[in-house]
Amino acid sequence: MKMSREKLMEATRRQMPSSRWEHTLRVKETAVELAERTGADPEKAEIAAILHDYCKYWPEEKQREWILRHRLPQDLLQFHKELWHAPVGAVAVREELGVDDEEVLNAIRSHTTGRPGMSLLEKVVFLADYIEPGRSFPGLDEVRRLAREDLDRAVLKALDNTILYLVERGLKVYPLTILTRNDLLDKIPQILPKEESH
């Protein structure tokens, strides 16, 4: 028996403080808007957006235990725990809420790091989380502008911003994020530098 959207929303709302629930609602609206504009499935975008932070406020030990028990990539444990809730969340919403749509689960799984070969739905949810209207940080306006024109370039710019942020603070970058960036670079036609005028 599939849970209704309302029950999924209520189950998710109970997992987090009200400020994060407000963020979730903004991501949901942004994801639906992006999906409708780009041809992704708006219903799947809405469900994935509702569920994307399902585990974010679980205790660190509980997330660690799920990573080990469900044989999620063990290298996650060597990186910041902020990354853990995405892959843990994909397992948790399948087990606890009965969500079994692989596209939706992939969008939840990859919303923090990306992954090579991201689907349109994954890009929509990744960007919706990044650009939702409540966010404010350097470089965000450019990603919002790109999201209106070219999802691949918008995702690439978001990844660049994230990588630079981590590097400038002397923090480790999760390898999947680098692989995602390289994958997009291979797919996006490069803009050649303008010839210098003489």
At residue 89's C-alpha, the angle toward residues 64 and 115, to 5°, is 95
Distance of alpha carbon 41 from alpha carbon 121, whole angstroms: 7
Check the CA dihedral 132-136-142-145 and report its sign: positive
| Higher pLDDT among residues 69 and 193, named by residue | 69
Instruction: Examine the pLDDT at 77 and tell me if it is beyond 60.
Output: yes
Instruction: Examine the pLDDT at 196 and tell me if it is beyond 80.
Output: no
Distance of alpha carbon 21 from alpha carbon 57, whole angstroms: 11
5-136 architecture in CATH?
Answer: Orthogonal Bundle (1.10)
Q: Give 109-124 pLDDT, tens digit per residue.
A: 999 999 999 999 999 9
Q: What is the C-alpha R_g of the chain?
A: 17
Instruction: Examine the pLDDT at 197 and tell me if it is beyond 50.
Output: no
Q: Note whether 34 and 125 are within 8 A (CB).
A: no
Confidence of residue 91 (pLDDT cuts 50, 70, 90): very high
Please give the distance of CA 161 from its chain centroid, rounded to a whole number: 14
Identity (one letter) of the amino acid at 146? L
Confidence of residue 41 (pLDDT cuts 50, 70, 90): very high
Which residue blocks in the chain are alpha helix, DSSP H? Answer: 5-13, 18-38, 42-51, 60-69, 85-97, 102-109, 120-131, 140-147, 151-168, 175-187
The answer for residues whose C-beta is within 8 angstroms of residue 110's C-beta and 6 or more apart is 86, 118, 122, 126
How confident is the model at residue 44, as a pLDDT?
Answer: 98
Distance of alpha carbon 163 from alpha carbon 137, whole angstroms: 14
Q: What are the residue ranges spanned by the domains of the chain?
A: 5-136
Confidence of residue 191 (pLDDT cuts 50, 70, 90): low
Query: What is the pLDDT of the chain when averaged over all its residues?
Result: 94
For the ranges 79-88, 149-158, 184-193, the lowest mean pLDDT is seen at 184-193
Confidence of residue 94 (pLDDT cuts 50, 70, 90): very high
